[in-house]
Structure 1
Amino acid sequence: MGPATAMNLGRLLTQTARRLPDHLALVWGERRWSWAELDRRVDRLVAVLAGAGIGKGDRVMVHARNSNAMFESMWATFKLGAVWVPTNFRLTPAEVAGLAETARPRALLRDRGFAAHADAVRATGHAPFVLAVGDAREGEQDYEAALAAAAPPPPDHEAPVAYDDPIWFFFTSGTTGRPKAAVLTHGQLAFCVNNQLADLYPGTTEASASLVVAPLSHGAGIHQLGQVARGARSVLLPTERLDAEEAWRLVEEHRIDNIFTVPTILKALVEHPAVDRTDHSSLRHVIYAGAPMYRADQILALQKLGPCLVQYFGLGEVTGNITVLRPDQHSLAEDAGGIPIGSCGSARTGMEIAILDDAGQRLPPGETGEICVRGAAVFAGYFENPEANEKAFRGGWFHTGDLGTLDARGFLSITGRASDMYISGGSNVYPREVEEAILTHPAVLECAVVGLPHPRWGEAGVAAVVPRDGATLDEAAVLRHLADRIARYKQPLRVVLWEALPKSGYGKIPKALVQQRLRDDGVSFT
């Protein structure tokens, strides 16, 4: 063990439980836990896992919906010095087994109804110890029974850790190839917690409350670290599906002041009629991330919620920690104090952004290139994946794979994923720009633009468009709408109307899924 370079991040919970033992910590449906109760349960889970031989550096896989068990598993794993390996609960057993082959967990916590997932993981030869919530079978331990039987460890039992010790395998949500395990560390996440408290939701205290509407396995879990550090209560939705009516009721009941969400969820919340009949004046920071938010959706959210929107751009590999656009930097006006409309903000405190060309050279303001970053929020690398690491860390920068521009003041605008861009007739087309133009049509609810092979132009655009309920829309109307709004070469050659766009488990619209459905439907130019 080297010098004491880091605090075990699990002590954030220990400290808060000692400071605020009787304050409300977690709410899930009708159930309530104080900080002292939550910490005692976490310590008992530490004892259960330690009794099964789980220790420092071992991986603990968790396949669960948002719940107290999901929350508790995070903190117990941290305190042990083990590595938390959460999965998206919507994944299939085969997909989870693939993640287990990468992570090689020694233990698995599974939610009720996920026996097939446990069987698939066990079939890989990993996770000999299985905890099950509510429907344990032979060979598995019942979660609540195991906690009740455990003798809690002594005070200050948290494992000593170094800055670079792994704490979390954050699986990328890529839609091509097997997801990679980004290794997050105790020291890196400590920086991220401080940065979020400074840049995303300043002023958060034990009087605050956070509504959890996205999976704790990813960005929402990172968000809750800062809430625990400050003693703010976390309120989980009672069901796994987004219930906008219930979400707004909880905002009013708990005087929620911060929410972490993604654009598709925020759009669903502000378009629901309950937003107009509940009191949401307590909201101070409604944070959206994970994908760009279209200007039309941003305007509606500002009109409904007022000046509380916070945008950040980031990736799992940089733990959401690249840019921030504060509430006072959001504007209904087209001139937002000189900030480019559509910008996702400027560099977070302690982070540096550069737009690099293919040769790794910085590009001047206004030119499009790859968004690259460096700073204390950048992860330690992909687990046992030297090829991916070599590609990701070229030239001393982390390469995000996103394209964008920086203006002279340092405000970043994302053009799209490098893989989303297509070349039509020798010209680069960035789908985001085309989608923004389509969404200004009043009859359009959502859309996605992708490039498909074209015999003359190399590639050409196809727009998949979802009309608003009751609206009349056809291909010709969309193309007429675009005629004077964007250059001819950027306009899609085809428009298809769908009832819904395919979405990932994180609420994103993966372009690969859009392209696949177009191919399945026989849409092509060849």
Structure 2
Amino acid sequence: MSATSNRDPKLPWSTRTTNLAHFLTRNAARLGDRPAIIWDDLTITWGQLDARVSALSAAMQDRFGVQHGDRILVQSPNNNQITEIMLACWRVGAVWVPSNFRQRADEVAYLGQKADVSLMFCEQDFAGHATACTEAAPKLEHVVCIGSGFGTEYEALIADYMGQDVMNADVDRDDPCWLFFTSGSTGRPKAVVLTHGQLGFVTLNHLNDLMPATTPDDVSLVVAPLSHGAGMHQLVQIAAGAASVLVPAGKFDPDAAWELVQRYKVTNMFTVPTIVKMLTEHSAVDAYDHSSLRYVIYAGAPMYREDQKHALRKLGHVLVQYFGLGEVTGAITVLPRHDHHIEDGPEARVGTCGIERTGLHVSIQGDDGQILGPHETGEICVAGPAVCAGYYMDDGANEKAFRNGWFRTGDLGHLDEQRYLYITGRASDMYISGGSNVYPREIEELLLTHPAVSEVAILGCPHRTWGEVGLAVCVLDDGHDVNEAELNALLAAKLAKYKLPSQYIYLPEMPKTGYGKVTKKLVREELEVQGLWPGELS
């Protein structure tokens, strides 16, 4: 997969599309004096943002020789500069390559090498990352420092080129604009190629399916890293002309988040289930006015039913769930507000992640690619204009991920008669005990109904007789205690005996990725570090 244009000179009219940076151009013309980004005491209007992006675009071209298709690496926590760099990359036709800022220097260096980057923007607290990247990426000669201490200073660069007007580059539908690195839960991260045409569709799809009637009067709270799903969410706000409010830097503080919701009358936010849990279980949820909220969107993992009920009681009917991967930029299914129910029953469809997104086609397939019927479990596959252009320079990964035009998600699940999708779990999470498939999610859901259990992860553990058995890793609520017999009795009332965990381990907190997700790979690594992984049981 190349990060250069796939223009067909014989059909020049068929692939030309809108440069995503045109959203900013349009906003600056129409909404110039209205706020685009609010962060602590800083407010940047659409007009100011457009001027800063043009200045940065001019600097990238003049000072560093950035050309169409070049890859630009960014290592930084959330700030206004990340958005400016993203839009400047698109304005000049370059490719934005954001990292997970919580990754180690050697991990980010791998991203720079894999993407073959030619320029890096690095926040001042990550000097070691900048050094590691320049050593690993052969084309990387220049580093721009967001702050001061090394390289070229970002704000000085903006000042030097302020006032220069840069037009948005001509782009084709299939021109790459974003290398979206996967979380690497099953190995080293892969670089997903996202294009201008694809993201243009996803933006429209998000506005239609997730946040209908979003306008410039809306305000979005940014609580997750802009390098991944929150970056796509912010692009949707840019398209709508809505302002984005960033939470304060540092460790996430629910009290500060709720204060911002009240102060700016926030109408939407993008989160993951663990953040929704933190927000709704914190006392601040009752201390501030959050009646302005219309959409609290969560993705990255399904929300456990008990957590979902609690959030609905606290926030009302504002929850919107979507299921998707970086390869489909989040756009596979949606469970809209009206499909979230506090009471269990047929309408609640407990466990569903919703219906197909507009323009997307979901199928459940067997190992041979055969399309399965309702309630038959298989791999969740998807086709449609939200699917990425493949993985950058990775033919092996492309061959595994695509079959007969379908993208294979690696998730297992089934559709019901009305085409609501139910995720059983990752194919890699499933384990086989005594010849029977065991899907951890149904066990986890039941354990979370116990008042003492706050978080849980079920892992398959080697067993001398049964091949694999379940290992339950639990986090208990403060002040609560529970024994294994009590938990197994809860499960035995609803599950076959072979599904009951063979052993329980209790942790003070569950390890999570930099995006707040709990992955089985990370949990197992934490158990191994602490010497708690039992190895083969008997």
User: Within the alignment, does 1:62 sit opposite 2:64 as a pair?
Assistant: no
CA contact (8 A) 2:280 2:311 kept: yes
1:331 to 337, 341, 347: 341
- The offset of 1:135, in angstroms, is 1.9
User: Within the alignment, does 1:309 sit opposite 2:303 as a pair?
Assistant: no
CA separation in 1, counterparts of 2:434 and 2:349?
A: 28
User: Within the alignment, does 1:87 sit opposite 2:99 as a pair?
Assistant: yes
- The offset of 1:103, in angstroms, is 0.2
Aligned letter for 1:515? Answer: R
User: Within the alignment, does 1:191 sit opposite 2:204 as a pair?
Assistant: no
Aligned letter for 2:141? Answer: P
CA contact (8 A) 1:47 1:152 kept: no
1:460 to 469, 472, 476: 469
User: Within the alignment, does 1:227 sit opposite 2:206 as a pair?
Assistant: no
| Alignment gaps of 5+ in structure 2 | 1-6
CA contact (8 A) 1:329 1:336 kept: no
Equivalent residues in 2 for 1:123-272 (5 A)? 123-124=135-136, 125-137=138-150, 140-154=151-165, 157-272=167-282
| Alignment gaps of 5+ in structure 1 | none
Match of 1:110 in 2: 122
Q: What's the secondary structure of 1:114's corresponding residue?
A: helix
Match of 1:389 in 2: 398
Q: Normalized against structure 2, the TM-score is what?
A: 0.95
CA separation in 1, counterparts of 2:144 and 2:192?
A: 25
CA separation in 1, counterparts of 2:200 and 2:229?
A: 15
- The superposition leaves residues 84-119 of structure 1 with CA deviations (integer Å, 9 ceiling, x where unpaired) of 000000000000011111101110000121000000
Aligned letter for 1:53? Answer: G
- The superposition leaves residues 24-48 of structure 1 with CA deviations (integer Å, 9 ceiling, x where unpaired) of 1110011111110111111111011
Aligned letter for 1:263? Answer: P
CA separation in 2, counterparts of 1:360 and 1:513?
A: 30
CA contact (8 A) 1:48 1:150 kept: yes
Match of 1:76 in 2: 88
CA separation in 2, counterparts of 1:395 and 1:257?
A: 41
Q: How many pairs were matched up? A: 522
- The offset of 1:522, in angstroms, is 4.1
Q: What's the secondary structure of 1:159's corresponding residue?
A: coil
- The offset of 1:416, in angstroms, is 0.3
Task: Report the more deviating stretch, 124-133 or 449-458.
Answer: 124-133
Q: What's the secondary structure of 1:344's corresponding residue?
A: strand
Equivalent residues in 2 for 1:15-30 (5 A)? 15-30=26-41
- The offset of 1:221, in angstroms, is 0.2
- The offset of 1:480, in angstroms, is 2.4
CA contact (8 A) 1:59 1:83 kept: yes
Q: What's the secondary structure of 1:328's corresponding residue?
A: helix
Aligned letter for 2:279? Answer: L
- The superposition leaves residues 225-262 of structure 1 with CA deviations (integer Å, 9 ceiling, x where unpaired) of 11011110000011132110000000000100100000
The change in CA–CA distance for 1:447 and 1:73 in structure 2 (over 3 A counts) is same
CA separation in 1, counterparts of 2:43 and 2:498?
A: 57
CA separation in 2, counterparts of 1:408 and 1:136?
A: 60
CA separation in 2, counterparts of 1:175 and 1:335?
A: 34
CA contact (8 A) 2:380 2:411 kept: yes
Match of 2:4 in 1: none
Aligned letter for 1:172? Answer: T
- The offset of 1:517, in angstroms, is 3.2
- The offset of 1:483, in angstroms, is 2.1
Aligned letter for 2:202? Answer: C
Find runs of 4+ consecutive structure 1 residues off by over 6 angstroms. none
Percentage identity across paired residues of the two chains: 51
Aligned letter for 2:33? Answer: D
Match of 1:122 in 2: 134
Q: What's the secondary structure of 1:207's corresponding residue?
A: coil
Q: What's the secondary structure of 1:33's corresponding residue?
A: strand
Match of 2:3 in 1: none
User: Within the alignment, does 1:451 sit opposite 2:460 as a pair?
Assistant: yes
CA separation in 2, counterparts of 1:127 and 1:349?
A: 40
User: Within the alignment, does 1:286 sit opposite 2:296 as a pair?
Assistant: yes
- The superposition leaves residues 365-423 of structure 1 with CA deviations (integer Å, 9 ceiling, x where unpaired) of 00110000000000000001011101111121000000001001110000000000000
Aligned letter for 2:177? Answer: I
CA contact (8 A) 2:96 2:178 kept: yes
Q: What's the secondary structure of 2:192's corresponding residue?
A: strand
* CA-based RMSD: 1.1
CA contact (8 A) 1:475 1:496 kept: no
Q: What's the secondary structure of 1:191's corresponding residue?
A: helix
2:22 to 2, 8, 11: 11
Q: What's the secondary structure of 1:169's corresponding residue?
A: strand
Q: What's the secondary structure of 1:448's corresponding residue?
A: strand
- The offset of 1:336, in angstroms, is 5.2
Match of 1:513 in 2: 522
CA separation in 2, counterparts of 1:297 and 1:462?
A: 22
CA separation in 2, counterparts of 1:324 and 1:297?
A: 18
User: Within the alignment, does 1:36 sit opposite 2:36 as a pair?
Assistant: no
CA separation in 1, counterparts of 2:84 and 2:68?
A: 17
Match of 2:499 in 1: 490
Match of 1:99 in 2: 111
CA separation in 2, counterparts of 1:8 and 1:448?
A: 42
Aligned letter for 1:129? Answer: H
